[in-house]
Chain A
Amino acid sequence: MGVEVVVEGLSKSFGRQAIWRDVTLTLPSGEVSVLLGPSGTGKSVFLKCLIGLLKPEKGRVVINGVDLCSCPEKDMYEIRKLFGVLFQDGALFGSMSIYDNVAFPLREHTRKSEKEIHNIVMSKMDMVGMLGAEQKLPGEISGGMRKRAGLARALVLDPQIILCDEPDSGLDPVRTAYLSQLLIDLNAQIDATILIVTHNINVARTVPDNLGMLFRKELVMFGPREVLLTSEEPVVEQFLNGRRIGPIGMSEEKDSAQMAQEQAHLEAGHHDGSSEDMRGVVPQLEPTPGLPPRDAARRRRQRVMQILHTLPEPAQHGILASLSREDFDRYQDWRRRTAGMAMPTALPERPPSRPVSPQQAHQATRPIPPQQVQQAPATRPRLRPWRRDGGDQ
């Protein structure tokens, strides 16, 4: 089973420039997590701190009871053998062929014969669809292929923690979808803890169990995917929808004058850059039929159901809507048995700003008809000024 990664109060700065402060999160063992964030918020730096390539000023990164930020070099190299890291550009060794690159960790850390190494390398190459390119040099293949070869190398030692730095950058949407599926399949097979750092919204919506976001030098939130996907936080909403309207600017932040100006433009009918509302919980990717079900999904369900009453209401709807009929009944039983705890709807959460119909509000406490099980909560009708204009229609 994968290893739990606990990050406590991590702060990193370069000179006087703080990158992020006081980041605290836990990557639950064996689950898939995604960390979102606008460009330049230090996502890659965060990954490098997780593997001890950069030393944060404060805080701890605990893996298997060892604090990576303060342990001696020797332990660090041992802990790192648990990791498989996919770097942004693959980070292949330029002087070696793809085959030698993928075989490198095996030759360094195991006493396997060349024949065994060959078998393992070929199976990983097959997994990432790179058969036939073994003897090429990294400089001779495309960026997407380098990325896939980098993934093959990261997987070759059967890591317990897989970190992916923007697996989608430089890949077309189809290959990105294949890569997402590959990561989910891997998770089903070897139950590794996976952290993906990205700004691809599609990956963020469909792949992870847990979702977090970095912005303004802080971790805005981290938790079950439904929490972020249904969040009313302006930053999250803007980012998920890829709009210009909101707190994120071309440079890191924008001031209120610019925000007001953009809002005025929007009201005057100027396009805000987004297409449709991307929020709301969509079904998560499942392992390819024929593979075992993901154990992590079951563990996560248990974990999330226990903290369900502490989550914001839209997230609760999303989670309940994604349960199978059976699970939902079990959950209802459990709630009844632990009576005395507040029911989800009775919680004094902050008022939902999206209109929740009485019927919807009711659904949360009552078994959902099967045909509605996969349905995401209704999204808020958005302003579409260019449609209301009427002049050109």
Chain B
Amino acid sequence: MSTTTRSPIEAASNAVTGALREFGNLFAMGLDVVVAMFKRPFQIREFLQQFWFIASVSIMPAALVSIPFGAVITLQLGSLTAQIGADSFNGAASVLAVVQQASPIVTTLVVAGAGGSAICADLGSRTIREEIDAMMVLGVSPIQRLVVPRVLAAMAVAILLNGMVSVVGVCGGYFFNVVVQDGTPGAFLASFSALAQLPDLWVSEIKALIFGFLAGLVAAYRGLNPKGGPKGVGDVVNQSVVITFLLLFFVNLVVSVIYLQLIPAKGA
């Protein structure tokens, strides 16, 4: 039997099929969640509770992260643009970077880190206490009853938080550009309106929506499939955050590329 001595190739192929299987299951559950979103009855109470919970744990960290994030981008770009003599465009560049890239990412890192990990731990402990089994046996779908409200709450929080993070980030950028780097407020605002356009804001919100969905989905998926008791719950919480981050940056790349292809830059 090959149970004791497994060849490295076999082990590697097992790992690959295992990863693919997990990914497929995640995808299948994503479809289930989307379908269940349109099924009545909608769990409005659960949704509000979860929304409030995720918002309350995310707002402060998101705001606190976004200020230095906006500042760093502005300072970095400020010194670069000064070197090539384009100081007046500093405002536009930093605003676009904050709104399109930094804001959705920061939002979702916080939603996944603070809200997603809590969702994952909650569902994980319910699973090992057989509550999920009990719910299925009582003829109630945990996807519809528990997962859908959580995913929707994560999406809603991500969208709203994304707006706030954009504002705070831009304000932070403005403050550092004008106060610290001696930029002129007029040039900051003028370059902003010269290069930025409304679709930049839309894509930012669409990204936040997708990332919020992913954060909620991955947290719920990992939470519903813990391996081996209480320790397994700790493991899946850890994994859910890591998997969300990985997915996040990959999907961000894809969405950004598509956006840049589809929407021509202003003035181009």
Please, which residue of chain A has its CB at the minimum distance from the CB of B133?
A53
Selected contact of B138 from candidates A16, A88, A89, A108, CB within 8 Å = A108
Taking CB atoms, residues of chain A closer than 8 Å to B131 are 91-94
Taking CB atoms, residues of chain A closer than 8 Å to B129 are 89, 91, 94
Determine the distance from Cα of A92 to Cα of B3 in the docked complex, in whole angstroms: 39
Chain A nearest CB from B253 CB (Å) reads 35
Determine the distance from Cα of A53 to Cα of B131 in the docked complex, in whole angstroms: 12
Residue pairs across A and B with CB atoms within 8 Å: the count is: 51
Taking CB atoms, residues of chain A closer than 8 Å to B135 are 93
Chain B nearest CB from A149 CB (Å) reads 12
Mark contacts of A77-101 with chain B using CB atoms, 8 A cut-off: 1 yes-contact digit, 0 otherwise: 1101101010111011110000000
Taking CB atoms, residues of chain A closer than 8 Å to B136 are 53, 77, 80
B137 at the interface (CB under 8 A from A): yes
Selected contact of A91 from candidates B125, B134, B139, B140, CB within 8 Å = B134
B141 at the interface (CB under 8 A from A): yes
Given contacts A87-B130, A91-B129, contact A80 B137 (CB under 8 A): yes
Determine the distance from Cα of A270 to Cα of B148 in the docked complex, in whole angstroms: 61
Residues of A in contact (CB 8 Å), total: 23
Taking CB atoms, residues of chain B closer than 8 Å to A115 are none
* B133–A105 touching, CB < 8 Å: no
Taking CB atoms, residues of chain A closer than 8 Å to B133 are 48, 53, 87, 91
Please, which residue of chain B has its CB at the minimum distance from the CB of A78?
B139
Per the 8 Å Cβ criterion, residues 12-41 of A in contact with B are: 16
Selected contact of A16 from candidates B3, B130, B141, CB within 8 Å = B3
Please, which residue of chain A has its CB at the minimum distance from the CB of B41?
A108
Chain A nearest CB from B171 CB (Å) reads 39
* B130–A81 touching, CB < 8 Å: no
Chain A nearest CB from B111 CB (Å) reads 22
Chain B nearest CB from A147 CB (Å) reads 13
Chain B nearest CB from A170 CB (Å) reads 14
Determine the distance from Cα of A64 to Cα of B119 in the docked complex, in whole angstroms: 38
Determine the distance from Cα of A109 to Cα of B138 in the docked complex, in whole angstroms: 9
Chain A nearest CB from B4 CB (Å) reads 12
A328 at the interface (CB under 8 A from B): no
Please, which residue of chain B has its CB at the minimum distance from the CB of A52?
B136
Per the 8 Å Cβ criterion, residues 342-372 of A in contact with B are: none
Chain A nearest CB from B152 CB (Å) reads 19
Chain B nearest CB from A91 CB (Å) reads 4
A186 at the interface (CB under 8 A from B): no
* B134–A85 touching, CB < 8 Å: yes
Determine the distance from Cα of A153 to Cα of B131 in the docked complex, in whole angstroms: 13
Per the 8 Å Cβ criterion, residues 120-135 of B in contact with A are: 125-126, 129-131, 133-135
A51 at the interface (CB under 8 A from B): yes
Give 30 CB contacts A-B under 8 Å.
A48-B133, A51-B137, A53-B136, A53-B137, A77-B139, A77-B141, A78-B139, A80-B136, A80-B137, A80-B139, A81-B139, A85-B134, A87-B130, A87-B134, A88-B130, A89-B129, A89-B130, A91-B129, A91-B130, A91-B131, A91-B134, A92-B131, A93-B126, A93-B131, A94-B126, A94-B129, A104-B140, A105-B139, A109-B139, A150-B134
The 4 closest A-B pairs by CB, nearest first: A91-B134, A91-B130, A81-B139, A85-B137
Known A-B contacts: A83-B137, A109-B138, A153-B138. Give 10 more (CB < 8 A). Answer: A53-B137, A80-B138, A87-B130, A91-B129, A91-B130, A91-B131, A91-B133, A92-B131, A104-B140, A105-B138
